[in-house]
Structure 1
């Protein structure tokens, strides 16, 4: 889940999230996905001959499913990696996150789908500091970092003890590990700087500190979050040369 966070002013500011820093305890979470498929054939049906095991694979889509023409128009033509965070509803904090990769033939291949969270009160097209909504839109991804050491990120990785939140979330869950790994979402920030950099080109009222970070099991202040093992997978997958972006919002808004 992402947290529209602040990094307490003295520690370079968890921008507007209002967390209190406490001692970090470490740890992570796991996630599982059911990728099974029913073939629809009755038991005992002989298998048809095929020239190769891959001959029955469904073709990859020419466009990313669930994204409408307006949303797709905002995705840069050079972007070959698109992280889609599709919220359950406009006022929901539950999100499904999938990394799509553009193939040489122009089709798109999906990765695993990860269950995560967004802001407590859902999504908005007019985000403001402290409104407990995640911003809807298409944003570039340039910089990463975290309390834990670089797990193999291809994005510039800023390792610092200042990446910690502490306290508890909206559901009483501990936040201590939320910033073990983060990816800065380029909403109201300067790309090419540490996620901890508090510069806000649109002004403080528009909020900032919107990240992809480790899920803690509940809503965020504005960020998108996914489980720790999936954050590691994502950090290792994103390639600067593929100009990665995140497309984020509730599923209905993204279909526009």
Structure 2
């Protein structure tokens, strides 16, 4: 009969500890292990998605949670996003220059409609976003509506975002901050599409920088895209009917607009039918 081999007590504890260590190396990760994070810029995150790079880094940092910021306590409300201009989709918003702090938004009733509504927005503090400061005002646009490829004589207003740098009119400057060219050549007569008189339509105008050179009188006929692409697209006094391609608002609103547009705020016009602007 054999006698069981008994190991000295001094050797038993080290061998048991070694066995436990070996067993632990082959176990699956515990539930508390941090999951792998996608790299910044991956689809749906960071610069490639609706969230900023800094937000993606923040959420992948140990101990952070969605909407948290450094130094914030768990469960704190995230900071509100800057107010966006109502009715503008992501594509249209992306076309507004970062330096623009005034936006005159002209929204057409439909792509083939010649009636529209105009609102002037301002952002004094980019962190707070856009605020409506004037309007809505009734407006007219081209007789045949809107187009994303305006050509001379198509009777449509060009869609898009354009800078506003120059003004003028037949009447004296009402207090404009934009450079203002008072000139008798702004006189116009005749009748509109529905027989309405055109006289006084160009008493006040703001040039829309579509196919024109910035920094010159609205009367300048230089056409960088070529004469076939049309030009002379202005904001002017409404004559009670559709335009050839311009945007028109009532005379008292034109005076208010001229006194409000500030070149230091890099004003732009955002114009088109509601469906297009909402994309």
In 2, Cα distance between equivalents of 1:148 and 1:60? 43
1:53 alignment partner in structure 2: none
Q: Is 1:85 matched up with 2:106? A: yes
> For residue 267 of structure 2, what is the aligned residue in structure 1?
244
Of 104, 121, 130 in structure 2, the residue corresponding to residue 100 of structure 1 is: 121
Aligned twin of 2:206: 183
TM-score after normalising by structure 2:
0.70
1:120 corresponds in structure 2 to 143
Per-residue CA deviation, residues 140-198 of structure 1 (Å, 9 max, x unaligned), is 00000000000000000000000022000001000001000000000000000000000
Deviations 1:113-152 (A, max 9, x none): 1101000000000100000000000000000000000000
- Higher strand residue share: 1
Relative contact order: is structure 1 or structure 2 higher (C-alpha 8 Å, sep ≥ 6)? Answer: 1
Could you tell me how far apart the structure 2 residues matched to 1:102 and 1:75 are?
12
User: Aligned partners of 1:103, 1:156: CA distance in 2, in Å?
Assistant: 22
* Residue 146 of structure 1, aligned match among 169, 194, 213: 169
Aligned residue pair count: 198
Deviation per residue, 1:1-24 (Å, 9 max, x gap): xxxxxxxxxxxxxxxxxxxxxxxx
Task: Measure, in 1, the Cα distance between the counterparts of 2:81 and 2:218.
Answer: 34
Out of 222, 238, 256, the residue aligned to residue 199 of structure 1 is 222
State the alpha-carbon separation in 1 of the partners of residues 121 and 190 from structure 2: 34
Deviation at 1:103, TM superposition (A): 3.0
Secondary structure of residue in 2 paired with 1:71: helix
Native 8 Å contact 2:143 2:243 kept in 1: yes
For the pair shown, which has the larger CA radius of gyration, 1 or 2? 2
Gaps of 5+ in 2: 1-79
Q: C-alpha displacement at 1:61, in angstroms?
A: 6.5
**Residue equivalent to 2:84:** 63
Question: 1:157 aligned to 180, 183, 187, which one?
Answer: 180
Over residues 204-242 of structure 1, what are the superposed CA-to-partner deviations in whole Å (9 max), with x where a residue is unaligned? 010000000000000000000000000000000000010
Q: Distance in 2 between matches of 1:198 and 1:229?
A: 27
Which residue of 74, 92, 95 corresponds with 1:74? 95
Q: Tell me the TM-score normalised to structure 1 length.
A: 0.76
Distance apart, 1:109 and its partner CA = 1.1
Which structure has the highest helix share of the two?
Answer: 2
SS in structure 2 of the partner of residue 142 of structure 1? coil
Return the alpha-carbon distance in structure 2 between the equivalents of residues 246 and 81 of structure 1: 8
Partner residue in 1 for 2:131: 109
- After the TM superposition, which of the residue ranges 105-114 and 91-100 deviates more from structure 2? 105-114
